[in-house]
Amino acid sequence: MSPSPDWKYSGGVSPERQTKLAAAGSFDELLRLVISDAIVTRVYAKAGSERGLTHCVQPVFLLDLEETGDALFNGPWGYRAQYWLHPSRGLAANRELISALTPKLLAAVDVVAAPDLAKLDLCASLAASSAKLWVRESLTLLTESTTDLAVDRWAQEANRGVELARLGLAAPNQTKFEVKGALLDAHGNEVVPSRKIRRHLDIHNYGFS
């Protein structure tokens, strides 16, 4: 299957890299490759940061995707490309990824090293609708982004001055990712920060969240 001709790159992305980004040929095959490639490097519990949510806690799993990270974040079959197609398709792809990664994520949990994890229902947190995968955001990623993608919708929003779209047009070669389970309150209920309710729409419209 050929990728959509509307998923385009700027001249800064070489033809050789574009070929590698599209090599999986489908999201399902890319998912299979990602699961094989993923290495969990750390697991820890993180409290909510927004006002009123500091009593909530979520598990965070740090991942290395040395071979597949670039295609997952920037390829025409990748994570952001699924949201670009349609917000609901992006949500489904996010759920497929986390579900497939869950056995590997849970196997990496060490409640001796991170005792706060023992207080969480990790399975419920990972199965919740607000659990998500994303790149590990760094200062370089946020301040030194380049225009690597030529996706019309995102380019139009960037031209209007939307900061998320400026970030969305960047396609840095990423290998560091994280899976964040849902925030859970003291009773084990999922709590979604208000700024994340529209996450699927942000990635669809701008390529970033």
For the chain, give every domain's residue range.
37-206
Q: What is the pLDDT of residue 114?
A: 87
Q: What is the pLDDT of residues 122-131, one digit of tens each?
A: 999 999 999 9
State yes or no: pLDDT of 92 exceeds 80.
Answer: yes
Q: What is the pLDDT of residue 139?
A: 62
What would the mean pLDDT of 18-31 be, rounded to a whole number?
A: 97
Q: What is the pLDDT of residue 190?
A: 92
b (16+ CB within 10 A) / e for 18-49: beebbebeebeebbebbeebbebeebebeebe
State yes or no: pLDDT of 71 exceeds 70.
Answer: yes
DSSP structure string for 159-195: HTT-HHHHHHT------EEEEEPPEE-TTS-EE--GG
Residue 71: Cβ within 10 Å count: 26
DSSP structure string for the chain: -PPPTTS-B-TTS-HHHHHHHTTT-SHHHHHHHHHHH-EEEEEEEEE--STT-TT-EEEEEEEE-TTTHHHHHHSTTSHHHHHHH-HHHHHHHHHHHHHHHHHHHHHT--TTTSGGGGGS-HHHHHHSTT-EEEE---HHHHHS----B--HHHHHHHHTT-HHHHHHT------EEEEEPPEE-TTS-EE--GGGTTHHHHHHHHS--
pLDDT band, very low/low/confident/very high, at 1 (cuts 50, 70, 90): low
The structure's pTM equals 0.93
Contact indicator for 117, 111 with CB cutoff of 8 Å: yes
Q: How far apart are CA 68 and CA 97, in angstroms?
A: 13
Of 48-52, 104-108, 145-149, 177-181, minimum mean pLDDT range: 48-52
Average pLDDT score over the chain:
93
What would the mean pLDDT of 97-103 be, rounded to a whole number?
A: 98
Q: How far apart are CA 204 and CA 189, in angstroms?
A: 27
